[in-house]
Amino acid sequence: MTGYGRAETDHAGTKFSVELNSVNRKQSDVVINLPRDLAELEPRVRQTINENISRGRTNATVTLHTGADGARNLALNTELARSYHEAMRALQKELNAPGEITISTILQAPGVMRFPEETVKAEEAWPAIERALRAALADLVKMREREGKHLAKDLIHRLKAIRKKLKEVRASSRRRETISRCAARPYSKSRAADRQR
């Protein structure tokens, strides 16, 4: 069955979100996307999913947002900014190119402004991720059950229509047999009468 589930939890200023979606398949196929710091949790995530879903392809994405309300502080690489500034001034002098080298130009250079790499300990994060995962699984399973009930209702409706048509075909077949027998009898009697003459 197809389904979707999403849930979020907070732990020590970090917000974890788990998003699940599944599509029909005969076998179980679980694809998990985790942040690098949480890669060691993949077997646990897979086991938790497999405990609840036995068939289909399930995609699981775990994301984390650190800082207050998911806000992240930017890091400024001043050494890299100086290096860019010196390289730009040297190039400007060498090419004898007019114009100003502004702070805006330097800040837009790759790597000068970046989000700091914040590490999260997988063991400490697991209880929060597990809560979000179980909540997302509950939503996904409910959606799959709703779809299953809808499919069952549709199949029952189609089965009733097939049974009705089958009764019509049987009744029509019986009428044809009766007509065939009736048509065959007079023909046989008249042939027998012709032979006697």
* pLDDT 10s digits, 117-169: 667 788 988 999 999 999 999 998 888 888 888 888 989 999 999 999 888 88
Q: What's the confidence (pLDDT) of residue 85? A: 93
Q: What's the confidence (pLDDT) of residue 139? A: 92
The answer to whether residues 58 and 30 touch, using CB atoms and an 8 Å cutoff, is yes
Which band of pLDDT confidence, cut at 50, 70 and 90, is reported for residue 70? Answer: very low
Closest CA to 49 of 20, 6, 81: 20
**Does pTM surpass 0.75?**
no
φ, ψ (nearest 5 deg) of residue 17:
-125, 140
Q: What mean pLDDT is predicted for residues 34-63? A: 90
The answer to whether residues 10 and 37 touch, using CB atoms and an 8 Å cutoff, is no
> Rounded distance, CA 144 to CA 82, Å?
56
